[in-house]
Amino acid sequence: MAEISALQAARAQYQPKLPKALQGPVVAVEGKATESVGNQKEIKELFPNTYGMPVITFEAGNQPKLEPFNVGIILSGGQAPGGHNVISGLFDGVKSLNPNNKLYGFILGPGGLVDHKYMEITPELMDQYRNTGGFDIIGSGRTKLEEVDQFEKGIQILRELGIKALVIIGGDDSNTNACVLAEYYAAKKYGVQVIGCPKTIDGDLKNEQIETSFGFDTACKTYSELIGNIQRDCNSARKYWHFIKLMGRSASHIALECALQCQPNICLISEEVEAKAMSLDDVVTYIAKAVADRAEEGNNFGTVLIPEGIIEFIPAIKKLIAQLNDILATPEAQNLGRSEQIDFVKAHLTKDNLAVFNSLPTSVARQLALDRDPHGNVQVSLIETEKLLSTMVAAKLDQWKKEGKYVGKFGTQHHFFGYEGRCAAPSNYDADYCYSLGYNASRLIANGKTGYMSVIKNTTKPAAEWIAGGVPITMMMNLEKRNGKMKPVIRKALVELDGAPFKYFASKRAEWAKQTAYVYPGPIQYWGPSEVCDQTTKTLQLEQA
C-alpha cells in the first residue's frame, strides 16, 4: 500500500452519516406516474420501457432475503469530490444485503465496460479510498454509450461476471447514457438493471427531485478558499484587479456560490447576461464602470469572478456559435485542415454572424470556429475569457482617461480555477451525501429498479432526517440539438434569476462593488463545531430557507 498523509489516515476513520431510513431494512413507497420535463410524446416513444415510472421514497420496512448478486460501477466524465464515497456507500450497501455479493469497477469509465477492463473492489482496496478525493480507484473516462455494438459488448462482460446491476456515476450526459442503456437492456429483457448517480461540480444537474449534484459543495469551498486568499492579498497590496475565471460552461452556479461566500467586487452571471441581451461591450462597460467608481475612492484594486462559459451566453455570440455548430457538423467540414476550416466557416456564415465573428479578437474567433468537445460543444475552457475581458476593460479605461472620465491606475492579475477543485478531499457534507447516494443505489437495486437515479433530499437538515429514494431518469429529459441532430438529454439546470440565491446576490452586489467587503472563508474544516464543519453551500441554504 502506498504511503498516505496524516490527513488521509485520519479521514479514513470518518464514518459517513446515513439517513435514518437507510439505517436498516427498507420498503419502497411509490408515488404517482411521471412524465418528462419536455417533449413528452417523443421521449415516451424513445423510452417505452422506462418512461412514466413513479418516484420512489424509501421508508423503514422489511427487506426480503436476496440471493447473492454482483454489481458493476462506472465513473464517467470529469472528476468531482466524493466519488470514492459513492463507491464505498454502494460497496457497504451491497455487502449489507449479502456478504457474498461482489462489486466490480470498470476501468477508465464507460470504455472499460465496452473493452472488458475491470477489477474487483475488495474490502482492502476500498478501505484505502474512503473519504478521499479523486476518481483514482478505477479512473474515469468520457466514452459515450450510444451504439448497439457498445451495449452488446457490455452485456457480454456483465453476464460473464454475473452482474445484476450497473451503477453509472456521472453528470447529465453520462446519466442520459445510463438511461439509454437501461432502456436497451429492458427492451431486450437482458435482466440487467442500470442506476445513475448525480455528479458534477458545475451544479447544473439538479431539479425538484435532485437538490444538488455531488462535488459542488467541496469544489465551491475549495475555490472560495483560493478566492479569499487572493482577496486578502488584493486588499494588502492594493494595486491589482484580479480577474478570476471559474469552471461552469453551461451554468454560473459555481461563480454565484463563490460570490455568496466571498463577496467580490464583481461577479458576472451568464444567465443574466443572456436575459438582458448584453453585448460584449456592455459586459466590458459594466466592469469598467465599477473599476472607475472604486478609483474615485482611491481603491485601484478589486476582484472579478467570471464563469468560464459566459462567452456562449452573450446573445450575438450565442447565435454565431449555433450556426458554427451546424456548419462544422456538415460532412464537407469534417476533413478540412485548420486554416481551410476557418475559410469554410466564414464563407457559410450569415452576414450578421460574419460581422460578429470578424469583430472578435483573432484568438477567440479561431477557438469558436475550430475544435469541439465530444459533445459537440465549443471548448470554452480554452478561451482565456479573463484576459479577453481585462484587455478590453483596459482599452475602455484608456479611452475614458483621454476624455477625463477616469483618473485611476489599472494593473491586472489573471487566474483560472478548475482542476484545483475537482479532486479535493470531500467536505463532511459531500462525504455524507455521496456515501448516502451509493448506499441508496444498493437499495434501488435490491428493489428491482432500473432507469432510476439515486436521490437524497432534505439535506439542509441533519443527515438522519435526509430523505432517500429514486427518480426515473426519463423524468428529467427533453430533446436538444447535439452535433447537428436532435437527441434526448437531461435538461441542464441554469441559475434562476428569480431564485433566492441570485436575488440575495443581486441585492448586495452594488454594495460589494463599491466597498471592500471581502469575506475570507479559509480551508475546508473536517473536525470541530458542526456549524463550521457540516454547513451546506450558501446556494442550498437560500433555496431551502
Active site residues: 202
Q: What angle do CA 419, 324, 249 make, to 5 degrees?
A: 25
Q: What is the DSSP letter of 424?
A: P
Q: What angle do CA 423, 428, 434 make, to 5 degrees?
A: 65
User: Which amino acid would we find at residue 68?
Assistant: P
Convert 218-257 into a string of H (helix), E (strand) and C (coil): HHHHHHHHHHHHHHHHHHHHCCCEEEEEECCCCCCHHHHH
Q: Given strand 412-417, what is the order of strands in its sheet? A: 266-267, 302-307, 241-246, 412-417
Contact yes or no for 228/519 (Cβ under 8 A)? yes
- Secondary structure class of 54 (helix, strand, coil): strand
Nearest alpha carbon to residue 315 among 352, 278, 285:
278
- Secondary structure class of 148 (helix, strand, coil): helix
Q: How far is CA 363 from the centre of its chain?
A: 27
Nearest alpha carbon to residue 285 among 300, 260, 266, 271:
266
Cα dist from 383 to 80, 366, 388, whole Å = 22, 10, 9
Instruction: Give CA–CA dist 185/103, Å, rounded.
Output: 20
Contact yes or no for 231/264 (Cβ under 8 A)? yes
Nearest alpha carbon to residue 134 among 172, 86, 174, 175:
86
* Whole-number CA gyration radius for the chain: 24
Nearest alpha carbon to residue 365 among 350, 374, 375, 355:
355
- Cell 464507460 belongs to residue: 110
Q: What is the DSSP letter of 486?
A: E
Contact yes or no for 266/302 (Cβ under 8 A)? yes
Instruction: Give CA–CA dist 110/118, Å, rounded.
Output: 11
Contact yes or no for 428/534 (Cβ under 8 A)? yes
Instruction: Give CA–CA dist 169/175, Å, rounded.
Output: 8
